[in-house]
Structure formats: structure tokens, C-alpha cells
Amino acid sequence: MSVCLPAHALASVRAGDAAATRAYLGADDAYELGVYAEVGARVAATEARASEIGVECPSALAFAPRDAAFGELGEEAEATAFFAGVAPVRSALLRLAHAIEHLTWSNSGLTRLVRAEGAEERAVAALALPDTCADIAAWKASGYVALPQSAARFLARRQDIESLSFVGLTEESREAAIMRLLRPYETPAQRRTAKRVEHLEAQIARRLTAAGAIVNGKLPAALGVAAL
């Protein structure tokens, strides 16, 4: 069964909903195409940051207690490497945020989700990365008692950003929910655009997930531990 409405139903779509849908899909399509072209650069930036951490503080966690702080600093190291990969697409994130953050539909839930997406893109683009080696050194200097505030702030901010990415008790991805809610407003041509966007998103996610797994596999050894 087609998810697109027949012509007579499309004619009844409010002009504002149609305009917002057209603007969102146009911006998202341009964004995904641009980001897809930069996947290699993102992977390289992630790998480079992970290597830098290993060079700057080799085996820094070798004698650290395996407690909650140890786990949090491991999370920081992995997240820092991952978010270093944002640099090549920072301008694209900001362009997307600017294009979608003020869009409005008669469906208030859809409007909230799209504005949350805009807010997340801005937050990711603005995220300041911590100095992981300095945080490990500060923890060590405290006698492994006090986790540096810089580490706690970064992890809290990362959690705030990631909390925007899922919707409801089923934890449906926000992007999937947006695409689902857009369908009543789409023309057949826009549905094809939406499918292309979804395909590109899936390909990008696979590449970044694979790269993250490789980096996360190398970081523990670089920091002198079996696992983070």
C-alpha cells in the first residue's frame, strides 16, 4: 500500500504544511548528500583524534582503579574521538539547523521533533571537546579520587544531546519519527526524496558505526588497559 496520498487528498493539504514539508525535505536532502561526501573525512578525523590521545598519554590508565570514574573517562575518550569527526561537517550542520529550526506544521508533534533536530544539530556543531589526557592526569593527581569537572560537564552535555535523538517509550529514532509524520504531506516526488534521505542516513550510520568500533577497539590498548 502506498504511503503517499492520492491527488485529491494532496490537494487538501494545507499550504503551510506543504511548504514546510518541501523546505524540510529539500534541506535534509542537501545535507545528507553533502555529509555522505564527507564520510571519509569524518572517519579520518575520528581516527586521528584517537591516535593523538594514544600518543599524548600512552598507557595513562594502566594503573588506574577500575571504578566509575575510570569508566567515565573511558567514555570521554571514545566520545571525544567520535565527535572529532564532526569538524568536516560543522558548517553543514549549521546550515541544516538554520533551514529547519523555524518550520511549522499543523501537527504540533512534528513541529517539536523538527525543532529538536535543529537544536541538536546546533548543539553538536558547538560542542567543545575536552582534553582527555589532561582530565586523566588531573584524576591521577587527585589520587584517583576526584573526576575533573571538565570531564563531568562534557559527559553531561553529550547525554543531553543524545537524549534528543529518540522519541517515546519505544525509543524510535527522531529522524524515523519525522519521516513517518511527514508522509501525509508528501507528494510522490517528495516521497522519493525522503527515501533517498533515509538510504543515505543508513549508509552514513553504517560507515560511522564501523569506524567507531575500530577506534573503540584501539583506544584501550593505547591507554594501557584491556577495555574501557
Q: How far apart are CA 17 and CA 196, in angstroms?
A: 21
According to DSSP, the residues that pair with 167 across neighbouring strands are: 172
Residue 156: all three cell numbers together: 553531561
In this structure, the dihedral spanned by the alpha carbons of residues 172, 174, 177 and 178, taken in order and rounded to 10 degrees, is -170
Confidence of residue 5 (pLDDT cuts 50, 70, 90): very low
Domain locations in the chain as residue ranges: 16-222
Grid coordinates representing 218? Answer: 584501539
- What confidence category does residue 121 fall into, taking pLDDT thresholds of 50, 70 and 90? very high
Instruction: Determine contact, residues 153/160, Cβ cutoff 8 Å.
Output: no
pLDDT at 162: 87
Nearest-angstrom CA–CA distance, 149 and 155:
10
Residue 128 confidence (pLDDT): 94
Give the C-alpha separation, 4 to 185, whole Å. 8
The pLDDT assigned to 56 comes to 97
pLDDT digits (tens, 9 = 90+) for 67-86: 999 999 999 999 999 999 99
pLDDT in tens, 29-57: 999 999 999 999 999 999 999 999 999 99
Cβ within 8 Å of residue 153, ≥6 positions away: none
Decide: 79 and 159 in contact? Cβ < 8 Å: no
CA 224 to chain centre: 28
How wide is the angle at C-alpha 94 spanned by C-alphas 167 and 29, nearest 5°? 70
Q: Please say whether the beta carbons of 204 and 39 come within 8 A.
A: yes
CA-to-CA distance for 117 and 20, rounded, in angstroms? 14
